[in-house]
Amino acid sequence: EAGVVQSPRYKIIEKKQPVAFWCNPISGHNTLYWYLQNLGQGPELLIRYENEEAVDDSQLPKDRFSAERLKGVDSTLKIQPAELGDSAVYLCASSATGTSYETQYFGPGTRLLVL
């Protein structure tokens, strides 16, 4: 069974440029998460989707970050414009139904460097 797929794996951009990350969850998983992980820190939740509905986006900086999961399958996270402090690893995860007892399966992440 294929795991969570993310692309690109690495991205280098200049500040003020836009950037987008793509995630395809495990087939059949209804819940999708986007996390940000800084060096030496644990992942921090940005947004959680149940199917195509964003059910937790309180920690998403909405002035520059946006996300969508139009058909309830794959998802895109966008930053526009990027700032130096956005350099981090962006992780996508999925779980089957989104109950709090479920395992999350993570993708390999996208490593973003903003110059």
Residues that bind other proteins (CB under 8 A): 33, 40-45, 48, 55-56, 58-59, 91, 100-101, 103-104, 106-109
Cα distance between residue 11 and residue 45, in whole Å: 20
Closest CB to other proteins among 27 and 103? 103
Closest CB to other proteins among 20 and 45? 45
- The string of DSSP codes covering 81-108 is S--GGG-EEEEEEEESS--TTSPPEE--
Q: What is the SS3 assignment for 113?
A: strand
How far apart are CB 8 and other proteins at their closest, in Å? 15
How far apart are CB 81 and other proteins at their closest, in Å? 27
How far apart are CB 93 and other proteins at their closest, in Å? 8
Closest CB to other proteins among 51 and 80? 51
**Residue 91 dihedral angles phi and psi, to the nearest 5°:** -105, 140
SS3 content of the chain, % helix, strand, coil (to 5): 5, 50, 50
Closest CB to other proteins among 36 and 82? 36
Contacts of 86 (CB under 8 A, 6+ apart): 79, 112, 114
How far apart are CB 91 and other proteins at their closest, in Å? 6
